[in-house]
Structure 1
């Protein structure tokens, strides 16, 4: 007799596996998996009715339901790899990161057929329900059944899920517009994603002026102090700031031009682990206006250097590495400031967020901030920092008051507030 084994998955779903010995006790073990208990029970009865044999016409993993074959269809991960391999305008590190997400996260996507059978996902069969199930699995993670304290796959943050979903949507869309098309529509459209601000703690840390001053006072190395002041004073990314060269400075215009950034080499590449490449995006190539104090600091650092020399270097004249700065300069300074009463524990990248908060406090418009930060889209700027603009509420109320309470209003029209 066939049997049914139930399994409660970490993502909240349940699967039912029907198991039997082919032909009776002498045959090998066979099994079929379902996502519905009723379907599993019906299939078990079919196996028993046919003498512990596969029901005639039943295809393992597919059932009696004949899904229309699509010419050119292939496993979802294979299509995804092909898509990423053909992308242009990205560096090899980004390509490698995309492939890592495909192998570690997209590979868990499964397709549930109308019959309830769970089969491998292909670029043609993956559905909106499959994508929603995948999002839930990403949220929940997966623990080791043999050791509940160990994660087979850790929970993913809302931001990580959103980023991967965006990549997945682009991959599926490529199948929609393919010639000939492999799909009629994008199954990622309309997916309900977890809110990025669902967590208790803010992902970004914003420092007040005196809070940053507390940290800066604990950085004893003047080279490291200059770099920290630069990061919080310009909002530049770490890889951009540490790649600046003397020739990028305009003394006449009091500006600095962002032309390059540090990139990490792919594993196995011959040569240094880091190299200078283009900035993150096209808009990341930008010109940043500087204050007189910042120009004074640059003049001091430019003295005696050649045009191709780095502006920010270690005391030994080497290029800064994020891990070295973080471990030897930033963390000790932050911990010392915390010991003296600092209520926050910022990361190095939070200096960029802090810079934006200071600009918004001075009523700098978001489009101007977008250009200064090098964001590809104003949407990115609004999504990350729009909530800080509440400081303008007073000006907004005054504008509404002036517009709605105009003395030129037609007689008989009552002011609406």
Structure 2
């Protein structure tokens, strides 16, 4: 506990000393009047008998100098998000949600240790690191053990939010007049995402997929599942495929991916989904079809108009993910599990399984990138590169062939030196 000691002076006035022990040593701060000393005493005790954050001995609370044009971080970020171009309104809404829920955790710690609200100009690298740690840790519910007020964020989500944060701060660096000279997000050490990638994906062997497919009794649902796993198309792409997107005659039959289902902004008239462009520029692509896929497609489009969807639900409308999953896919998986299937794949795992089959057939990753519509080969490598170990024999054979001794005719009698 802190105490106040009054020290009378010769002129009849007094000074007041606030004394307390901190880490075994006496600490003293002096005041010219009793009420100020009493206020400081309560501050010391509220901080656990430590110097209050932001207090400088002999000077009091010292604030950092104001930066001209500085604004609260949330105000700057909201303005940045509102002015973004080239994004869908659903994406803009997601960014604003991240701002409300996650970026509201940002705080600035001053050089004196005081924690103050974040502004676009006062954020530091340490502040960003503290935010990442808060995202990782989450916030347990103090009143309910095992429950959360805010769940810990996974590494991929943190990386995505950090990318948005980087752009928001960079806008202040590029602003006129300039509000920052550097981007405090540049050297942030983010949690590793690769430790979670393989756990999230389920790869089905052909026989395992057939066990699930055998439980799908609806012919239209079975055809869609067969198409997803045999083409590697995303759900939103396959269910948006229209009759005129198919070229089933000629020597090279193809399916043209030109659109995909998008989730609409909340409250949008006309429903929760709409047709828009594919996920990325490279996602707009041609997919080569095998004879089996051509036959499957012909069954689906017989008697249909060019603008009709290739895959349709029982009532003739487009498939919705929730309906297909809950009424067709999940019951089939559960039935297969009862009969011994050791996996519970999601619908998107059909795309992962397609890639695994291609890699197992020694199809090169760049070709797989083009078929999947990945924007970058790095995405393909990061997600599926660990499956390429099956090519080791081919690689070793190629190395052996390259290093083998040339024939006498080709080498002119030269010998290989190893």
Task: Kindly indicate whether residue 241 of structure 2 is the aligned counterpart of residue 244 of structure 1.
Answer: yes
String of CA shifts for 1:327-357, please: whole Å, max 9, x gaps.
1111111111111111111111111111111
Deviation at 1:405, TM superposition (A): 4.5
TM-score, normalised relative to structure 1: 0.83
Task: Kindly indicate whether residue 52 of structure 2 is the aligned counterpart of residue 43 of structure 1.
Answer: yes
> Equivalences for 1:313-392 in 2 at 5 Å?
313-392=312-391
Asked if structure 1 preserves the Cα contact closer than 8 Å seen for 2:44 and 2:51, the reply is no
Deviation at 1:174, TM superposition (A): 2.2
Asked if structure 1 preserves the Cα contact closer than 8 Å seen for 2:54 and 2:63, the reply is no
Distance in 2 of aligned mates of 1:46 and 1:154: 34
Q: 1:352 to 1:305 in 2, by over 3 A?
A: same
Task: Kindly indicate whether residue 100 of structure 2 is the aligned counterpart of residue 91 of structure 1.
Answer: no
Distance in 2 of aligned mates of 1:109 and 1:33: 27
Asked if structure 2 preserves the Cα contact closer than 8 Å seen for 1:33 and 1:117, the reply is no
User: Where does the alignment leave 5 or more consecutive residues of structure 2 unmatched?
Assistant: 4-33
Deviation at 1:276, TM superposition (A): 1.1
Aligned residue pairs total 382
Q: 1:255 to 1:283 in 2, by over 3 A?
A: same
Aligned to 2:12: none
Deviation at 1:324, TM superposition (A): 0.7
Asked if structure 2 preserves the Cα contact closer than 8 Å seen for 1:248 and 1:256, the reply is yes
Distance in 2 of aligned mates of 1:319 and 1:32: 66
Asked if structure 2 preserves the Cα contact closer than 8 Å seen for 1:261 and 1:277, the reply is yes
> Equivalences for 1:269-288 in 2 at 5 Å?
269-288=268-287
Asked if structure 2 preserves the Cα contact closer than 8 Å seen for 1:33 and 1:118, the reply is no
Deviation at 1:75, TM superposition (A): 2.1
Deviation at 1:170, TM superposition (A): 2.1
Q: 1:31 to 1:217 in 2, by over 3 A?
A: farther
Aligned to 2:136: 139
> Equivalences for 1:217-256 in 2 at 5 Å?
217-251=214-248, 252=250, 253-256=252-255
- Higher mean C-alpha deviation, range 400-409 or range 72-81: 400-409
* SS in structure 1 of the partner of residue 199 of structure 2: coil
Distance in 1 of aligned mates of 2:60 and 2:152: 40
Aligned to 2:402: 403
Deviation at 1:359, TM superposition (A): 1.0
String of CA shifts for 1:254-308, please: whole Å, max 9, x gaps.
1111111112221122222221111112111111111111111111111111111
Aligned to 1:306: 305
Asked if structure 1 preserves the Cα contact closer than 8 Å seen for 2:132 and 2:190, the reply is yes
Distance in 1 of aligned mates of 2:414 and 2:79: 69
